[in-house]
Amino acid sequence: MEVWGSATNPPSGPINVLDYLRSISGRQTVIGMHNREPNSSPAVQTNAVYSITNRWPGLWSGDFLFTADDVNNRWTMINEALNQWRSGSIINIMLHVVPPTQSEPGNWNGGVVSRLSDAQWHELITDGGTLNRAWKIRLDNYAQYLQYLKDRGVQVLFRPFHEMNQGVFWWAGRPGSSGTAALFRLTRDYLVNTKGLTNLIWVWNMQDLDLNWSVYNPGNNYWDIFSLDVYNGDGFTTQKYNTAMSVASGKPIAIGECSTLPTSYQLASQQNWVFVMSWAELTFSSNTNAQIQALYSASNVITKDELPKFY
């Protein structure tokens, strides 16, 4: 029997990221920070929170993104992910990208925020379809960056489809097995089985628009962590927490994004959130410095200096 350590009593040797997150569930929560545009400066918000707290977030997050400048700086973002990993951070990477009906780079409005017709969607999720082939070519491009990280031993929390129930995005808002969940399955199968990216820890992500999340489940064999983006004004309710626990069926749960941070007391009453990641600049507009400092110094919150060594 193996006994996992806590943040104050870390494992004696290197540990897998997913195993570590499982080990702290019910006791402690890793604090994370997303770094939004620009990819040319991919640690700007992480550095900002350090200037306030004198502590580094335990999780660093970046995004492939879609504008010309950000696409041109994807290697800058990936190299920052490598640097963050080597300095001890957990790595999270997202895909806010334009649909396969368009070429990269692209735009937010009419690109990331757009909708495919039902016929286009069917073509996308049907093996051999024109859009299906276009998406796999796009995945070939993304895979080179993720392979670079794999070759250097980096494990990546990978969230390809942000807020799968948020219908403003081209990939989202399609419930049922042949909806957004089908694109998740297609993407995972291709990146893992065809491209061999076994360094990815797959994150299924929903937003607190409602509680009907199970209709977007890609299948329990397709994801490792369930994450919830908390933006509604009612915040971190017990009902959301209990629903997350229910749909996760024993797998780790996390706060994928938030603007207003939870307090350490809220995390103490909802102990199974394994990480909480605040959204870039919203961290500073939605929380006072004192609130940020209090959370980062809480005993049940894990910052980078308290993480174990990962292999």
Give pLDDT, residue 4: 35
Q: Rounded mean pLDDT of 174-202?
A: 98
pLDDT band at 3 (very low <50, low <70, confident <90, very high): very low
Q: Rounded mean pLDDT of 142-149?
A: 98
Give pLDDT, residue 311: 85
Q: Rounded mean pLDDT of 30-43?
A: 96
How far apart (Å, rounded) are the C-alpha atoms in residues 306 and 40? 28
The active-site residue, picked from 37, 104, 123, 257, is 257
Q: Of all residues in the chain, what percent carry a pLDDT higher than 70?
A: 96
Cis peptide bond N-terminal to 42, omega within 30: no
Q: Is 80 a catalytic residue?
A: no
The active-site residue, picked from 80, 163, 281, 306, is 163
Give pLDDT, residue 278: 98
Give pLDDT, residue 14: 82
Give the DSSP letter string of 29-97: EEEEEE--S-TTSTTHHHHHHHHHHSS-BSEEEEE---SHHHHHTHHHHHHHHHHHHHTT-EEEEE---
Give the DSSP letter string of 239-301: HHHHHHHHHHTTS-EEEEEESSPPPHHHHHHSTTEEEEEE-TTHHHHHS-HHHHHHHHT-TTE
Based on its alpha-carbon atoms, the radius of gyration of the chain, rounded to whole angstroms, reads 18
pLDDT in tens, 106-121: 999 999 999 999 999 9
Q: Rounded mean pLDDT of 182-206?
A: 98
pLDDT at residue 296 tops 70: yes
pLDDT band at 145 (very low <50, low <70, confident <90, very high): very high
| HSE-CB of 96 using CA atoms within 13 angstroms | 22
Hey, what amino acid is at 310?
F
Q: Rounded mean pLDDT of 10-19?
A: 79
Q: Is 257 a catalytic residue?
A: yes
Give pLDDT, residue 2: 28
- State which CATH number among 2.60.40.420, 3.20.20.80, 3.40.605.10, 3.40.50.1240 fits the domain covering 17-306: 3.20.20.80
pLDDT in tens, 223-255: 999 999 999 999 999 999 999 999 999 999 999
DSSP state of 184: H
Q: Rounded mean pLDDT of 136-165?
A: 98
Q: Of all residues in the chain, what percent carry a pLDDT higher than 90?
A: 95
Q: Rounded mean pLDDT of 55-67?
A: 98
Q: Where are the domains of the chain?
A: 17-306
pLDDT at residue 5 tops 80: no
pLDDT band at 259 (very low <50, low <70, confident <90, very high): very high
With beta carbons less than 8 A apart as the criterion, state whether 31 and 4 touch.
Answer: no
Q: Rounded mean pLDDT of 36-59?
A: 97
pLDDT in tens, 210-220: 999 999 999 99
Give pLDDT, residue 37: 86
Q: Which residue has the higher pLDDT, 1 or 70?
A: 70
Of the candidate ranges 7-11, 172-176, 283-287, 294-298, the one whose mean pLDDT is the lowest:
7-11
Give pLDDT, residue 173: 98
pLDDT in tens, 82-110: 999 999 999 999 999 999 999 999 999 99
- Looking at the whole model, is its pTM more than 0.85? yes
